[in-house]
Amino acid sequence: MTALLEVTGLRKTYGPTVAVDGVSFTLPPGGALGLVGESGSGKTTTARMLVGLERPDAGSISVLGRPLAPAVRGRAARLARAKAVQMVYQDPYLSLDARLTVGATLDGVLKLHGHRDAAARAGRVRELLAQVGLGEREAACRPRQLSGGQRQRAAIARALAVEPAVLVLDEAVSALDVSVQAQVLNLLTDIRREAGIGLVFVSHDLAVVRYVCDEALVLWRGRPVEHRPTAELLAEPEHPYTRLLLASVPHPGWDPGEIAARRRELSAADRVSGARP
Ligand code: ADP
Ligand code: MG
């Protein structure tokens, strides 16, 4: 069984900042991996390398057994890259055209990817919208005429229109309120089960990752510190940083002062180990 995504030894630096260092994982068909870690831990940089928006300093990315070219030139290569991995951002306005109706945006993506027949495209647009729980009314709306949840569904439909092997979602539900968040999470679970699309789900929120992902990879200062089945990782976190992340979620009897102290301790230990200044 060919892996959807195979990532080995990804590294990215920005000047003296090591944003990502040594990230490796394999995503089986229909698999879902959570990338977790606090702000600045290298999640977005990893996601951007997966979709080709950043060029890794080292490491490799293969989709369906084929290495992703580090640089893409020309229309055919760009379309092939888009078909491999699609990104859904926290801000759906980044992937939707504010001037176009949602239906027109989807139609445009299908056209770009070689669907020539207008009637067939219209049918496919309806299918895509139905898949994300939107209908005719939403198809005729521009992004700002939709609710936040509807807008994010439209952005997901846009990504699905490309028929990617893998969907990378960078904090894609973080800005949604909890009930809408639940709907979008259900949608993602359906997409995975029904279409076999792999998910790389970036989130700082462990509760959300638990719901969507079989496995979670915890990043700390750009480095993977723990990568295990999500349920196990949450039940018995091994790395002190994973334990700290879990403890950082407010709960009854929670002591933010203690969390801050543990964080300082962890940073000090990291400095002593000499791994990173
Ligand atoms: P996360 O998504 O987990 O919050 P990021 O991947 O955005 O983390 O950032 C990881 C580190 O890389 C941070 O220290 C951030 O400041 C740095 N970084 C990210 N993008 C850039 C960039 N374009 N230029 C310089 N530094 C960057
Ligand atoms: Mg980020």
- Residue pair 39/245 in contact by the 8 Å Cβ criterion: no
14 lines ligand 1 (CB under 6 A): yes
Flag whether pLDDT at 275 surpasses 60. no
53 lines ligand 1 (CB under 6 A): no
The number of the ligand nearest the C-alpha atom of 11 reads: 1
The dihedral over CA atoms of 56, 210, 30, 204, expressed in degrees to the nearest 10, equals -20
Sequence-distant (6+) residues with CB within 8 A of 109 are: 158, 161, 162
- Residue pair 146/138 in contact by the 8 Å Cβ criterion: yes
Sequence-distant (6+) residues with CB within 8 A of 239 are: 218, 220, 225, 226
Q: Which helix (H) or strand (E) holds 155?
A: helix 148-161
Q: Give the least confident one: 125-129, 140-144, 173-177.
A: 173-177
37 lines ligand 1 (CB under 6 A): yes
Amino acid letter for position 262: R
CA dist 251 and 207 (Å) reads 13
Q: Is the dihedral of CA 179, 180, 185, 186 positive or negative?
A: positive
40 lines ligand 1 (CB under 6 A): yes
User: How distant, in Å, are the alpha carbons of 59, 158, 269 from that of 67?
Assistant: 11, 25, 37
Task: Measure CA 6 to chain center.
Answer: 15
- Quote the percentage of the chain above a pLDDT of 70: 97
Task: Kindly write down the DSSP assignment for every residue of 106-136, as one continuous string.
Answer: HHHHHHHTT---HHHHHHHHHHHHHHTT--H
- Residue pair 140/103 in contact by the 8 Å Cβ criterion: yes
Please name the residue whose Cα sits nearest to atom 27 of ligand 1: 14
39 lines ligand 1 (CB under 6 A): yes
Q: Which of 10, 13, 17 to mutate to test the pocket of ligand 1 (most atoms within 8 A of CB)?
A: 17
- Residue pair 87/47 in contact by the 8 Å Cβ criterion: yes
How far does the centroid of ligand 2 lie from the alpha carbon of residue 132, in Å? 24
145 lines ligand 1 (CB under 6 A): no
* Per-residue pLDDT tens digits for 54-83: 999 999 999 999 998 766 778 888 888 888
Flag whether pLDDT at 277 surpasses 50. no
Flag whether pLDDT at 273 surpasses 90. no
Q: Which two tokens stand for residue 213?
A: 């992902």
* Per-residue pLDDT tens digits for 4-54: 999 999 999 999 999 999 999 999 999 999 999 999 999 999 999 999 899
* Per-residue pLDDT tens digits for 158-183: 999 999 999 999 999 988 888 888 88
* Count of other CB atoms within 10 angstroms of residue 268: 10
